[in-house]
Amino acid sequence: MNIYIYIYIYIKKSILISITISVPFLFHFSFYKKLTYFILFYFILFHFISLPIMLTFKGLLLILLLPSRLLSFIIKYPFIKGIPGKYQHNFSKSLFIKLCRLIQLLPVSDKGTLNFISTNFLLNKIMKLYHTRHFLGELNNFGKKFDDQSYWIHESPNRNRNKNKSDDPIIVYLHGGSYYFDNSLNQMESLIGIYQLLQNTTTITTTTTTNDDRTSVERKKNLSILVLDYKLASKGYKMPYQLNQLISTYKNLIYQGNTNLILMGDSAGGNLAITFLQHLRLTNNNNNNNNNSPANLPYPKSLILISPWCKIVPEISDYTKGHSMYDNNQYDIIEWKAVKKLIDNTSPLIRDDLSPQNLIISPGNLPYNIDDWIDIDTLQKSNYSTFVIMGEYETLRDDILNWCQYAVNSTLSSPIKHTQGIFDKNIHQFVSTKNDGAYVKCIIEPKGIHDASMIFENDILKEFQKHTTMNLQTINKDKYFGIYQIVEFLNEIL
């Protein structure tokens, strides 16, 4: 036991030296200020709170060595640049990818221990600290609870007064984080950026729209956004606990008379959205598709999936040349060494009495069958719509493409050549052509990585604070590729 104490003291001294050296450099930019505050916060935490006792020894070592590893990256950057790919020449984003990769290696229990910032605290304290009250003040009921497991980002002021409120859209956002991590600042900023961009674009189109288009404009102005605050597997709430929480919130919205619901999920949130559709299908089938049955819930009108986690447990064969898991390992935020642990042990994530080979857990771990998806209205019927975006350099890309092929009849395939970051609709886009079916759009972002729309494009909010009239016509379509595509899709369906 004494040797652990000596190692702990030695590492703490090392981390203090690392921080002392790095602070002057880091304070040149706001991102580095945030990173420095992050490092200092954890350092203080280890000194004055008993957090080390709560962490595993492996987790403690990884956390304490984190600043020195990041400092090593900083020193090497001028000579070897950043993570290969879209952000290779973007120091702050390359550094963030490095940080995320390291954090993913933490033991599951430590991920739960370090998730001490609640969604409530994030929305009502941190967001209001980082962004002006005037800017957030434009979001009605921002941070207000809807039910036991959800908060409003924006609740349309007309939601409870509008006689036709069933037609008013509500985006239910399901956050990513491998079911181990909570809502993050980046995700909330991107979500607000999407809303703001949609409203600005709406304002522009109102001067040129026809009478028919004004109905769409009105729906956009009555758009609400709700965030699901599901419990984490890293804190003992294993799959499908999160699915049951989504079902509860979805029912609450339906019972209030809302029917124009849009599920939007990134990464694990995308998995949650997909498995929710399967839950509805299986429940409806058990009730003989009796739409009047109180047990039957209507399908969401639209689905937005951002790098959805379609296949929870990878296979050894995935890490071979020609598969995106292998080919994109050097580029992506998700590495093979982080996900391969699930091959031997799913118990930290999935309830022990359930197998990942289950449509309400991990559809990608089952042989795909078109019959499992053909009866889902959101994916197949007219007046419904589905949007999927993934990265060309994403390790999960092939799993997502496989799901798209069976679930929405996509003809997209893995790009056979690097496209140098140039978007080519013939290579990177699929749009459904069936007149009597759902509107489907699948997009591959050139050089894109996992969940870039929500994790790496969040600085769009700072752009809005500088340029309040920014819209789809003036946005940097390469820098904010994912957000641009999402807003364009929303403009098409609302």
- Tens of pLDDT along 8-29? 444 444 444 444 444 444 444 4
The domain spans of the chain are: 2-114, 119-493
Residues 229 and 120: their CA atoms lie apart, in Å, by 9
The C-alpha angle with vertex 359 and arms to 371 and 455, in degrees rounded to 5, equals 115
Core vs surface per residue 164-186: b (16+ CB within 10 A) or e: ebeebbbbbbbbbbbbbbbbbbb
Q: What is the rounded average pLDDT of the residues 108-133?
A: 87
Do residues 226 and 258 touch, judged by C-beta distance below 8 A?
no
CA proximity to 351, closest of 228, 229, 242, 230: 242
**CATH of region 119-493, choose from 1.10.10.10, 3.40.50.1820, 3.90.1300.10, 3.30.70.1450:** 3.40.50.1820
* pTM metric for this prediction: 0.88
Higher-confidence position of 127 and 420: 127
138-172 pLDDT per residue, tens: 899 999 999 999 999 999 988 766 556 678 899 99
Q: Which residue has the tokens 């990134």?
A: 266
Amino acid in the structure at residue 360: I
Q: Which residue has the tokens 């857990």?
A: 361
Residue % of the chain over a pLDDT of 70: 81
The DSSP secondary structure of 41-62, one letter per residue, reads: HHHHHHHHSSHHHHS-HHHHHH
191-248 pLDDT per residue, tens: 999 999 988 776 544 433 334 444 567 777 889 999 999 999 999 999 999 999 999 9
